[in-house]
Structure 1
Amino acid sequence: MFARFNKRILRCQIHNAYRSSSSSSVSPYTSTHVFRDKRMAMIGRDMDRKFVGPMNPLEFLDEFLPISDTERKKQGTWQWWKDVVELKDVGNREGVTQEEHMYRPLIKALAKYGPKLNLVITSQDPDNVNWAHQPGLIKPDISAYTKKSGINRNDITRTEFWMELKWTETDDGFDDREGKPLEKDTDSREINFRLTLEHNSLLTRNHARLIRWDRGGAVVTRKFCYYQEAHLIDFVWRYDRATREARGHDPSFTEVTSKRRAKKVRDVLGMGEKDRVWEVRVADDQGKTEVFTGGKMEFRGVASPSGRCTRGFYVLDSHDQIRYFKETWRILSNNLEPEGKVYKRLKDAGVTHILDVIISGDVKGDWQVTQTHKHTTTANKNAKLRSHQHYFIVFAQVATPIKKFRDSFQLVQGIAHAIEAHRDAYEKAGVLHRDVSVGNILFTDDGEGFLIDWEFGKSVYSKDPRTVERMGTWQFMSARLLFNPPGTVEHVLGDDLESFYHVLCWLVLMHGRHGLSTERVGYEIARIYDDWTTVQADDENPRAGGMKLGNFSCYFMKNQAQLAPGPLADLVYDLEKAFNLRYNRSKLDYDPEAYPQLKAYPQLKAMLDEVNQQDLQKVETSVWILERFNKALEEKEKLEEQTCDPERSPKFPQLDPEKNRKRKRTQSELKDESSE
């Protein structure tokens, strides 16, 4: 699995207008039709305005799957019109009434153009990869593998490309009409967003699109009739002859062929007997290169078809020492430094509890910078695109994600150390982290905690304008940042400190000791941390934070979470009370006329205002928060006695996004809802 995440994706969509889209007997997580899944809707919003096109199909193929003049001459001998006509039978022969009837005829029609490829029906064979808390989500209709691999079932780690079949034209989430936005309305977009997770190709009875994905977004061709134009068979023919790199395999990774070496790596890293072992070369900007071997995944970032795709692995260096390897697609921006340079600045300033960098650098070669942004058209004038650069960074310390804490002492100390790192970076180096999350706090066997992932770190002295998109991990952003449209409020120190609180609560609910059932935990996690809404139907920026605001107001952790008594619960309750003041200050703070009698006692009012301001400052700097964490750590024995709950495995419900999308809600309505 080590190299597969670097793969670019070429996709084909085909659509059909001969069947109603109102089928209702479809179970979730199949590719038969869209199920209104909260996660799909959220990922859909993440992909909003990141599709570009429509591109001419032939130009698309020449750009992304180019062929030599010799191969082009071979194409000139095709009697392609015969084969293309045969494709008409795939969706139009007698007896075809649903997309499943098209699978085998389609595979048969395309087989001669991909002799090195094996097309396999995988629509009823879910991969066991866990995607956004839900295994079994990824089930493409047809998956392509190399015949050499011998694979004949769904395995997304070995897939070359996928093919997804849809029956109606309404399942096409794109609009080719001139002057119209490429992406259609919300319902159609959600269909395409589900396809981003499940296909490289999408077919129906009459039409097709080719789509090429990278971490910046996706390039979409115009719609074409695949039995009147040869673009579909041309795609399969070119892909069959393409080099591994042209197909999207990262040349930085090569599979270890020595059985002896592979066995040693598996044994040292605790990998499975059949897990593939990879060798990867990392080069810095000074010309230095180091080689690492491994592939045991330790961290997978937030599920999204675009963005950084951050992953962490355990690897061995040339001396067989275990190291922590991070792979990401960093954002190319004048306002963001490569993470390795940020680490150097932090180390030079004496920041504690950060990892030591062995080597870091941009990955060299073709396709290591996203290409989507280069292919915008007039239909994409509102495209919301970023350029991404493939990036490696290797750390000396072998650390474990904080979500794997053994007991409450390990949890509290790990987060406390991360807050200390955050404080030092802010005060000594003038850097604000801006992405505090569960995935960015690690701990080592000796108990030291680390704050990682500094690529969003920004100088507190910077005068650069606010970003048009929120920075950070959605689930752990402050209620303030989520509740306001991006770019309208500054990301400040207090927002990061609130994120530490959300990390603590998320981990306590997920893995701590309390009285909530696993079903209730799954519901609350989805409700509080995964929640989003749109204020207007055409609002491209989802908002949230209302649930977090409501939880502060009603003291959810104290009154409903049923935490096991002890220093951890006391810490959570005190933090909850303090952060509540960020949003629910005394009435005096908003309406000095609320208590007319205070006019006669201006000194009393001034004193109350001062107390109110002092309480607020508790959560706007790290001083009081660290003092409170350290006070909890003084009760080490009690914290160590409170181990994590190994039996807890929360089930995540399908929260219906229709509740969030059915009617347009105003800001005042959202505020009223949050205070209920």
Structure 2
Amino acid sequence: MANNSFNATPPRLRPLSGIFSATQRPGVATLRRELRKTMIHKLLGLPYDEWMGAFLPANDTTVDDASFDGLFDKVPIGSGETEMYKPFVDAVNGAEPAILDRFVLAKTFDKTDKTDKDKKKADGGMYPRDSPAVAQERTDWASVEVFIECKSNLTCDPYDEDTLSGHPYANTKRDALGQIATYASSVFEFQHRTHHFSVVLLGSWARLARWDRSGVIFSSKFDYKQEPAKLVRFFWRVARASAEVRGHDTTATRVLPGSDDYELLQAWKAKEKTLADDDYVAKRFVKSLSGDRPWWRLTVSNKTHGSRDFLVGRPTFAAAGVVGRGTRGYIALSISDPARPLVYLKDCWRMVHDRSKLEGNILSDLNEKGVANIPTALYHGDVEGQLTVSQTYWKPKPDPHTPSAKEENPFAEVDDVAVEAVPSGSDSAGQSEDADPGEPEYVDAKQKQKQTKIHCRMKTHQHYRLVVKEVGIPLQEFPSGRVLVRVIADAITAHEDAYNKAEVMHRDVSIGNILIIPPNAKQGKKEYQGLLTDWELSKRRSDENAEPRHPDRTGTWQFMSVHTLSKPEAQVQIADELESFLHIMIYCAIRYLPHTCDDVGEFMYSFFDDGRLVEEAEYTCGYFKRSVMKEGQLHDLAGKRILFLRTPRPPKPKDRSTTTKKMTLQPHPIEGLIITLLQWFSARYRLLPLEVDDDDDWEVAPFPDDLADSDEEPSDQSKVVLRAEKINSHSAMRTLLTKAYDRTGDFWPGPGDRQRDQLDPNFNPHKPQKTREKRTAPDGQPQEQPSSKRIRSASSQT
């Protein structure tokens, strides 16, 4: 089962600069910047009283407002953030009557969570009294109930009810949004939550927020020094609310010391040194139990199999981000099965649509039809009652920057759907262009064509779990170039089988959706096998002409074809899917095989992550990827051809004047495969119609026949057609890769061709080129790489 599924970049979002992409795990600063961009149209403001009534209605015990007058008088305003926080914590913790019941506020701005690789730390939060965060004054994402961020004034307010998208305009506010979004993402990653709450202090002002996988509902700001009861009321109610109201997943139970589940997992940890070398599943399961991350018992329920319980440790993959599917993957111990096998469990929030099908049902259907090289579905089902609610609070409202807006009341309701005059670069550019009868009179004819009905961009998500039999390893961990080719060929076979036997198109071919099943003596498996996983976004061929189930482009940005990225409204064709397999091969080869590319980071960003801005938050295929595929030659940004080699290049001598003999570079077998495939896809793009930007003011006139001249001789043109035809079906590409894998002798260089990851983990695409160090392909032994795929894009995420 894919351990990093559901990442697709929607047509209204940029390709995320590799941050949630397949390239690498980002640094904290970059993570903040990219996360806040995913929040466009995912934020919504409500008046304080309406917010409290919706999410934390009055308890049996009420708060005496008068008893807390002056509670925050000692909190200094105008000084630094750290100076504010201790008096604030002391005021809440020391209040009489006690506000937080069995909880307590802890200041944690000095120390990061020890188990968090990104080393993030919130200013503070509400924790159980026995949480290590309280005594150590250290952020603990696994036990925080409400995280709190403190800012000195309103210039860092992360929310803005005066924009249609909810996304603030000012850079300082956007930075603050990115910061708290990373904290919200960490709570979802370290705990099993349906939603959670946060507080942001802005000098003497405060806002509350509720986060779920659909979006963020924030409250209007209020002066907590002048009206302390408003903040007290929030903490009072949340501290006395049930675990379910606070957002805890009731089907996930934490495994605690002394329990039978704890002893069982401890026994597994003790097996670590006795496991066979090729028992990779058990080894990885034991590894997931190491460290300080909590262990959990998860329940998967459906009508056919009832409830099944599984024990899990650290996820093998956890998608960063707040909105969207929030996919996590686990190697799980099935304790409801007497044999207690190890299986793969995927926990996610699927998008709800009338025509959407459960991935478990799709897989079961493919299994019944004999589709090869795919996971075997065991159990699956929605988690009952766990549905996002943020989208239900959305109401259309006018753009407050137009004459018709009620600027004095940003929360004012509008009876009819409002229309916005959409200038180039506005937050709403690119939405559906339905005509609206109530257009404002000041809009001219050209603006009328761009006017937009404002639709809710928050999507309903349902919590869902799926268990499959096979446990694979990420494709990035391929041991050699030969195995890489074999695994991709197997995935193409799965795609072909699904297309022919079940009439299903996968529509999300990406590196995270191909897994490797290594040889295993215990199971009698002698060869590597590839699996094509994550079929939730697949579509039946009979539905290709139906209205799209999701308004966003489906797929994973980095591996989508040039055609699909350029024409998001076009139907996905076999050639598009096969091109995705080629991109996966290039991606793996450029990072892990020897080659002549001097700047891997620059190539990876420009080819896989970059996009061409059309409107604000709307991107199409980047120029570099488009040019490489049309030219049919792999080169760097300077136009220098990239060659894949059998062995790394030796370092060039410092004194070239003493060198009289040129080095002979031995090409890697994958070089010929990539050259051949690039020629096939280049032929396709040479035959596609000329693409021009859509603009009503321009029309392309036909070129005079007597002046038209082709750079192809008739015989060459026929070759182009023949090459393009090879990718209209699977057989040619599958046969090419299979024959290459089957070559024996010294055709393949052996496992020594696998290199360390050649992508500099500190690479920053936004840093000026002159400050970067260029890298050549280093020599060395392979090392285990964590799964690195991050967000795809909102549709897949949203």
Question: TM-score normalised by the shorter chain: which range applies?
Answer: 0.7 to 0.9
Q: Per-residue CA shift, 1:580-632, capped at 9, x if unaligned?
A: 33435599999886885979x9xx97655443222222334322211221122
1:478 to 536, 561, 586: 561
Do the aligned residues in 2 keep the contact of 1:279 with 1:292 (CA within 8 Å)?
yes
1:401 corresponds to 2:474: yes
Q: Per-residue CA shift, 1:477-501, capped at 9, x if unaligned?
A: 22333334x4x33333222222212
Secondary structure at the residue paired with 1:502? helix
> In structure 2, do the counterparts of structure 1 residues 294 and 198 end up closer, same or farther at CA, with 3 Å as the change threshold?
closer
1:183 corresponds to 2:167: yes
Answer with 190-199 or 343-352: which moved more. 190-199
Q: Report 1:399-548 matches (<5 A).
A: 399-446=472-519, 447-462=528-543, 463-466=545-548, 467-484=550-567, 486=568, 488-516=569-597, 520-536=599-615, 539-548=616-625
Equivalent residue, structure 1, for 2:92: 110
Equivalent residue, structure 2, for 1:261: 264
Do the aligned residues in 1 keep the contact of 2:105 with 2:126 (CA within 8 Å)?
yes
Equivalent residue, structure 1, for 2:642: 560
Answer with 580-589 or 386-395: which moved more. 580-589
How far 1:428 sits from its partner (Å)? 1.6
Answer with 613-622 or 495-504: which moved more. 613-622
Equivalent residue, structure 2, for 1:225: 223
Secondary structure at the residue paired with 1:329? strand
| Whole-Å separation in 1 of the counterparts to 2:312 and 2:209 | 32
What is the letter of the counterpart of residue 574 of structure 1? T
Equivalent residue, structure 2, for 1:650: 760
1:272 corresponds to 2:290: yes
| Whole-Å separation in 2 of the counterparts to 1:62 and 1:402 | 48
Equivalent residue, structure 1, for 2:357: 337
What is the letter of the counterpart of residue 127 of structure 2? Y
How far 1:304 sits from its partner (Å)? 2.5
| Whole-Å separation in 2 of the counterparts to 1:453 and 1:377 | 34
What is the letter of the counterpart of residue 331 of structure 1? M
Answer with 203-212 or 40-49: which moved more. 40-49
> In structure 2, do the counterparts of structure 1 residues 222 and 78 end up closer, same or farther at CA, with 3 Å as the change threshold?
closer
| Whole-Å separation in 2 of the counterparts to 1:29 and 1:299 | 17
5+ residue gaps, structure 2: 1-25, 185-197, 271-281, 399-453, 520-527, 647-666, 693-701, 770-798
Equivalent residue, structure 2, for 1:321: 341
Answer with 646-655 or 55-64: which moved more. 646-655
Q: Per-residue CA shift, 1:360-403, capped at 9, x if unaligned?
A: 110113xx111111001233844312111111111111211212
Answer with 182-191 or 59-68: which moved more. 182-191
Do the aligned residues in 2 keep the contact of 1:266 with 1:277 (CA within 8 Å)?
no
2:129 to 147, 151, 170: 147
Do the aligned residues in 1 keep the contact of 2:593 with 2:754 (CA within 8 Å)?
yes
Secondary structure at the residue paired with 1:569? helix
Secondary structure at the residue paired with 1:535? strand
Secondary structure at the residue paired with 1:645? coil
Do the aligned residues in 1 keep the contact of 2:326 with 2:349 (CA within 8 Å)?
yes
Do the aligned residues in 1 keep the contact of 2:40 with 2:165 (CA within 8 Å)?
no
> In structure 2, do the counterparts of structure 1 residues 81 and 114 end up closer, same or farther at CA, with 3 Å as the change threshold?
closer
1:56 corresponds to 2:43: no
| Whole-Å separation in 2 of the counterparts to 1:588 and 1:185 | 37
TM-score, length-scaled by structure 2: 0.69
RMSD of the TM alignment (CA)?
3.2
Equivalent residue, structure 1, for 2:274: none
> In structure 2, do the counterparts of structure 1 residues 245 and 632 end up closer, same or farther at CA, with 3 Å as the change threshold?
same
1:307 corresponds to 2:289: no
TM-score, length-scaled by structure 1: 0.80
Equivalent residue, structure 2, for 1:71: 61
How far 1:464 sits from its partner (Å)? 1.6
What is the letter of the counterpart of residue 386 of structure 1? K
Q: Report 1:539-618 matches (<5 A).
A: 539-552=616-629, 553=631, 555-556=634-635, 559-560=641-642, 562-564=644-646, 565-584=667-686, 608-618=716-726
Secondary structure at the residue paired with 1:542? strand
How far 1:145 sits from its partner (Å)? 2.5
How far 1:313 sits from its partner (Å)? 0.6
Do the aligned residues in 2 keep the contact of 1:208 with 1:225 (CA within 8 Å)?
yes
Equivalent residue, structure 2, for 1:138: 120
| Whole-Å separation in 2 of the counterparts to 1:352 and 1:377 | 47
> In structure 2, do the counterparts of structure 1 residues 524 and 361 end up closer, same or farther at CA, with 3 Å as the change threshold?
same
Secondary structure at the residue paired with 2:570? coil
5+ residue gaps, structure 1: 1-27, 660-676
Secondary structure at the residue paired with 2:462? strand
> In structure 2, do the counterparts of structure 1 residues 115 and 588 end up closer, same or farther at CA, with 3 Å as the change threshold?
closer
1:633 to 731, 737, 741: 741
| Whole-Å separation in 1 of the counterparts to 2:689 and 2:252 | 60
Equivalent residue, structure 1, for 2:465: 392
How far 1:248 sits from its partner (Å)? 1.7
Query: Could you tell me the percent identity over the aligned residues?
Result: 27
| Whole-Å separation in 1 of the counterparts to 2:114 and 2:570 | 41
| Whole-Å separation in 2 of the counterparts to 1:104 and 1:533 | 47
Do the aligned residues in 2 keep the contact of 1:29 with 1:138 (CA within 8 Å)?
no
What is the letter of the counterpart of residue 114 of structure 1? L
Q: Report 1:4-19 matches (<5 A).
A: none
| Whole-Å separation in 2 of the counterparts to 1:594 and 1:137 | 65
Answer with 156-165 or 208-217: which moved more. 156-165
